[in-house]
Structure 1
Amino acid sequence: MGSRLLNIQRRAAEHGRLRTGYTQGNRPMRSATWVVTSHSEEHVRTAAQLWGGEPEQWKPLNSTIAQWRVITTASTIEALITPGDPLNQYNEMWSKGGCQRRCDGETELLTRQPCICLARFGEDWHQQKKGTVCSTTSRLNVMLPDLSGMGMWRAETHSFYAAQEWGGMVDMVLAGTDGKGFIPVNLRIEPRQRVANGETKKFPVVVVELRNITPRQALAGPMTAAVALDPAGGGQAVAAIEAPKGRDWIADAKGALTSDDVRDLWMEAQNAGAVHPKGTDPLSKQLMAIAASKDAESNRQGEDEPGPDEDGAYDVEVIDEAAERQPTDWPVAAQPGSGARR
């Protein structure tokens, strides 16, 4: 591998934004479906093919540079949480002159003062009129695996309630993966409402949820890229999961005595990350086939055992005197020197 500059931060290019609203003239509008925007016409047209909608050219407010956007018909899209910490959260206030405040909830970082909104309005400052207080801003960088390019897409929300859920979800995943590997998720726009001061307010919240994996899998440590890209199929559509070097699981399975031993071996392989927990990968299927052959072999041996005669009696074992003097902690037929016969 080549060298890297150590004094700069490495990051993937940003391909575009995932939005929950759009502008109609100068008027901001909420959307119940995802709005995909990008400078790349190709990305937006591909998004329209995947999630519906009509691509169009568009200029963001206060910008003279045209972009492309599509207001899709999809309220849920598939994404990948990438290695590292993909989430940034601040309380921010913006104007035409740029960012006027950026606060971490305790300290306003531009002036190094204590949180201004908290000092003026107390714990419920976020319920104040928009524009008078900071906006809770969460930015989540994800990869869209079905769009071209290896760059990132930024999902952004200004919901106070989504901020709590995004932080909790991402922190739990990072606790399990240590920021390594990819995690498949769904980004879903969920309509909600709250009642305050006799008024009912409806608003969308972006929910980040695991996609086709369980919390056990997400918290068990980094998963392979193949599984993250194809969680429902165990990674088979991209690449087979290979056993770690130094352990031949197939050879060990063939040398096992019973199917139960093979199943125990599969559990070891699962703990080692060599197989998919759902058993959908090639190695799991090979081990299952070997276990089935062990069962079939055991059944054939059972068929060879002598049955009762026409009177319902079984032949007895004839044991010589030398065998009778052997220790009794082994089954008689298995004792050394046994002259057992049927």
Structure 2
Amino acid sequence: MGSRLLNIQRRAAEHGRLRTGYTQGNRPMRSATWVVTSHSEEHVRTAAELWGGEPEAWKPLNSTIEQWRVITKASSIEALITPGDPLNQYNEMWSAGGCQRRCDGETELLSRQPCLCLRRFGEEWHQQKKGTVCSATSRLNVMLPDLSGMGMWRAETHSFYAASEWGGMVDMVLAGTDGRGFVPVTLRIEPRQVVREGQTKKFPVVVVELRGVTPRQALAGPMTAAVALNPAAGSQAVAAIEAPRPDYLAEAEGALTSDDVRDVWRKARAAGHVDPKGSDDLSKDLMAIAERKDAEAEPVEAELEPEGGWPAVAQVPTP
């Protein structure tokens, strides 16, 4: 392997964004389905083929650089969490002049002051009107395995509720994988609602959930890339490894006859634990036990038979 610059953090290129909203003119709109944006027309057209929607040229607000986007018809998409820590979270406030505040929940990092929103509005600061307080901003870098390119896609949400759920989910996965290996997930836009002061508020929340694997498998350690790309096949393989094989030899030893031993072999064959042709070691051991059972049965039958054989049955004359 070649060398790397040690003073530069290595990261994959960003191919585009996964959004839960779009702009209609200058008006922001929420979307119940994923919006895929990228500088690459190819990526966006492929996303449209996979998840529906019409690709179109598009410019973000306050930008003169043209990009591409598609408002898909999919509320769920498949993705991979990649090695490392894929999640960044801050409370942020943006304006046309850029980022005005970036807070870790305790300290506003640009001014190095204690959290301004918390100091002004208290623990329920996130319920204040948008624009007067920071937004809980979560950015999750994922790979989309069905799109071309080995780069990353950034899913971003400003939901206060998603912030805690994303952090909890990613931290549990990292606890099991130590930031090594890929993890298959589904990114799903889920409609939610809350009732505050007698009024019902509806909003979308992006949910990150395991795809095709159980928590046991996700927390057992790093997965191979093959398992992450095809979790259904990987789950079957893991299940086969985790399920203990019955002790067929002990069961055969406890059998009464050779026919019972052959029944044990048939059970092992049905479970896929022996070669149907009987050429594997387990089959050979079971056949040896069956032969021994036959040999042990012969003297018993001989002992029951009188020396010289059984006498002929006398014919009783018919009166």
For 1:227 and 1:260, locate their aligned partners in 2 and report how far apart those are by CA, in whole Å.
33
What do residues 243-289 of structure 1 show as CA deviations (whole Å, max 9, x unaligned)? xxxxxx9xxxxxx996469xxxxxxxxxxxxxxxxxxxxxxx9x934
Quote the residue 1:290 is aligned against: 274
For 2:128 and 2:302, locate their aligned partners in 1 and report how far apart those are by CA, in whole Å.
91
Quote the residue 1:226 is aligned against: 226
Quote the residue 1:165 is aligned against: 165
User: For the aligned residues, what is the CA RMSD?
Assistant: 3.1
Distance 1:300 1:114, change over 3 A: same
Quote the residue 2:194 is aligned against: 194
State the secondary structure of the residue aligned to 1:234.
helix
Distance 1:183 1:260, change over 3 A: farther
Superposition deviation, residue 315 in structure 1 = 2.3
Distance 1:257 1:128, change over 3 A: closer
What do residues 223-246 of structure 1 show as CA deviations (whole Å, max 9, x unaligned)? 10110111112299xxx99xxxxx
Contact 2:40 2:67 in 1 (8 A): yes
Which aligned pairs between 1:69-218 and structure 2 lie closer than 5 A? Answer: 69-218=69-218
Which aligned pairs between 1:248-267 and structure 2 lie closer than 5 A? Answer: 259=248
Amino acid of the structure 2 residue aligned with 1:305: D
For 2:189 and 2:248, locate their aligned partners in 1 and report how far apart those are by CA, in whole Å.
47
TM-score under structure 1 normalisation? 0.74
Quote the residue 1:333 is aligned against: none
For 2:53 and 2:16, locate their aligned partners in 1 and report how far apart those are by CA, in whole Å.
17
State the secondary structure of the residue aligned to 2:145.
coil
Amino acid of the structure 2 residue aligned with 1:9: Q
Amino acid of the structure 2 residue aligned with 1:75: S
Which runs of no fewer than 5 residues in structure 1 stay unpaired? Answer: 242-248, 250-255, 262-284, 319-342
Contact 1:226 1:235 in 2 (8 A): no
The percent of aligned pairs where both chains have the same amino acid is 78
Quote the residue 1:327 is aligned against: none
For 2:25 and 2:246, locate their aligned partners in 1 and report how far apart those are by CA, in whole Å.
74
For 2:155 and 2:145, locate their aligned partners in 1 and report how far apart those are by CA, in whole Å.
15
Distance 1:317 1:151, change over 3 A: farther
State the secondary structure of the residue aligned to 1:33.
strand
For 1:315 and 1:308, locate their aligned partners in 2 and report how far apart those are by CA, in whole Å.
7
For 2:124 and 2:220, locate their aligned partners in 1 and report how far apart those are by CA, in whole Å.
38
For 1:60 and 1:35, locate their aligned partners in 2 and report how far apart those are by CA, in whole Å.
13
State the secondary structure of the residue aligned to 2:139.
strand
The structure whose RCO (Cα within 8 Å, separation 6+) is larger is: 2
Distance 1:257 1:7, change over 3 A: closer
State the secondary structure of the residue aligned to 1:150.
coil
Which runs of no fewer than 5 residues in structure 2 stay unpaired? Answer: 251-268, 305-319
For 1:79 and 1:235, locate their aligned partners in 2 and report how far apart those are by CA, in whole Å.
17
Amino acid of the structure 2 residue aligned with 1:36: V
Contact 1:84 1:179 in 2 (8 A): yes
For 1:216 and 1:44, locate their aligned partners in 2 and report how far apart those are by CA, in whole Å.
35
TM-score under structure 2 normalisation? 0.79
State the secondary structure of the residue aligned to 1:216.
helix
Q: Which has the higher Rg, Structure 1 or Structure 2?
A: 2
For 1:228 and 1:34, locate their aligned partners in 2 and report how far apart those are by CA, in whole Å.
22
Q: What number of residue pairs does the alignment pair up? A: 275
